Amino acid sequence: MELGTRLPQLKNALVVQQSFVDLTGDVGGAHLGVRYGRQTFADGPNLMVVPRDNNTIFTVFNGARVWARGTKVRADAFDFYTTRLGVNGTSDDLIDRGRRFSGVSAGIVVPRDWFGGSKLFFDPFVWRLRNDAAVWGTRTLREKRMFYGLHLYGDAGPVNVDYTIQHQGGEFGNQDISAWLIFAAQSYRLGKGRTAPRIGFHADYASGGGSYDGGTLRTSLAPFGNNIYYSYQLYATPTNLIALAPNVTFNPIPKLRTTLEYQASWRATDTDAVYRANGSAFAGTQNVRGVRKIADTLRAQVVWSFTPRVSFTGRYEHLIAGPSLTRAGFRSSDFLAGWLSFRF
């Protein structure tokens, strides 16, 4: 199989993945901390910021992070540059001054006696991402994007929820940005045990428009999110996307966890392209008008935990391309992969 050029996130002769110093202490019942150096960061919705552990090398940042945590509330402020990885060793893994990510995330523990007993968390956040070489349509310009969001997640009895709503503003060159992202995932446990089956769904909206036809830029962006959430083969990202996906998770035999999912996806607007997980557009899809269906996707994942430290993960995906893709020359595809993990 020819996989093309290996990305630095997948193969690197030698890399310093994390290298930082911490200063922490307790003051007046609150835990305070400062961290400086190269580090992972995941204080936000999984679809927005995550280390991306499906890669060989995590997504890491360079800069400072400070936090204060109490029993009911917390706050986390950060100022980072991204890392531009090479493939030959540590000498070509550089701080990318062209991408700066900063902001504040807060957290509030929802009272435990709400909803008949719950373990829920409410996190507002305000972030800023500056990218000196952002690409939308045929233009590469400096973008300054603001994220104003609310994130509610956790358990209420047998129900697990993960909801995010956010508005994005800012400028792309001389073009104003006004975009929306809404993530809604929910599941219900059919039993009391930890391995009881779960049924659920996720429904998501990511605005689009303005990349090719001018005016206000309405393309939403998840800067460092979970790339495999919408597709194991990375054909989709929360930009100009509407997705609806029912799913079920169960244990057919002990130590074997299986998840099955069907996802239907559409473009939010047919005047904009279909976007891949890396943020680039499928060439020509911006010219396909009058249809919005992107694809139907059938997915299966199995996780077999041999021992507490050794597990196997297998994933299969069948993508049935819709007219937004086929009319631009793209076809249906399949994905099959497996990973053996050892934790120590």
What pLDDT shows up at residue 18?
A: 87
Q: Which residues partner with 324 through β-bridges?
A: none
Number of neighbouring beta carbons within 10 Å of residue 71: 9
Mean pLDDT of 314-319: 97
Distance in angstroms (rounded) separating the CA atoms of residues 204 and 55: 24
Do 202 and 236 contact (CB within 8 A), yes or no? no
Q: Which residues partner with 185 through β-bridges?
A: 162, 202
Distance in angstroms (rounded) separating the CA atoms of residues 160 and 112: 14
**Range in 17-31, 81-95, 197-211, 223-237 the model is least confident about:** 81-95
Query: CA nearest 288: which of 328, 241, 329?
Result: 328
* Domains of the chain by residue range: 110-243+270-290
Number of neighbouring beta carbons within 10 Å of residue 343: 8
pLDDT at 232 over 90: yes
Do 307 and 268 contact (CB within 8 A), yes or no? no
What pLDDT shows up at residue 300?
A: 98
Which of the two residues, 72 and 88, has the higher pLDDT score? 72
pLDDT at 229 over 90: yes
What pLDDT shows up at residue 332?
A: 97
Do 17 and 59 contact (CB within 8 A), yes or no? no
Distance in angstroms (rounded) separating the CA atoms of residues 181 and 265: 15
> Helices marked H in the chain — which ranges?
323-326
What pLDDT shows up at residue 195?
A: 84
pLDDT-based confidence at residue 53 (cuts at 50, 70, 90): low
**Range in 51-55, 262-266, 329-333 the model is least confident about:** 51-55
pLDDT at 2 over 50: no
What pLDDT shows up at residue 214?
A: 80
| Main-chain phi, psi angles of 80, to 5 degrees | -125, 155
Distance in angstroms (rounded) separating the CA atoms of residues 217 and 54: 31
Do 170 and 145 contact (CB within 8 A), yes or no? yes
Distance in angstroms (rounded) separating the CA atoms of residues 91 and 214: 41
Which of the two residues, 339 and 169, has the higher pLDDT score? 169
pLDDT-based confidence at residue 3 (cuts at 50, 70, 90): very low
pLDDT at 1 over 50: no
pLDDT-based confidence at residue 236 (cuts at 50, 70, 90): very high
Q: In this structure, what DSSP letter does residue 275 have?
A: B
Which of the two residues, 53 and 27, has the higher pLDDT score? 27
pLDDT-based confidence at residue 59 (cuts at 50, 70, 90): confident
Handedness of CA 316, 196, 160, 154 (dihedral sign): negative
Mean pLDDT of 272-296: 96
Query: CA nearest 220: which of 182, 180, 183?
Result: 180
Residue-by-residue DSSP string for 21-57: EEEEEEETTEEEEEEEEEE----S-TTTB---TTSSS
What pLDDT shows up at residue 7?
A: 67
What pLDDT shows up at residue 87?
A: 74
Distance in angstroms (rounded) separating the CA atoms of residues 188 and 161: 9
pLDDT-based confidence at residue 6 (cuts at 50, 70, 90): low
At residue 154, the 3 state secondary structure works out as strand
Distance in angstroms (rounded) separating the CA atoms of residues 169 and 28: 37
What pLDDT shows up at residue 200?
A: 97
* pLDDT one-digit tens code per residue, 119-171: 999 999 999 999 999 999 999 999 999 999 999 999 999 999 999 999 999 99
Percentage above 70 pLDDT, the chain: 96
Do 75 and 104 contact (CB within 8 A), yes or no? yes
Per the prediction, the chain carries an average pLDDT of 92
What pLDDT shows up at residue 133?
A: 95
**Range in 158-172, 223-237, 292-306, 314-328 the model is least confident about:** 223-237
pLDDT at 182 over 60: yes
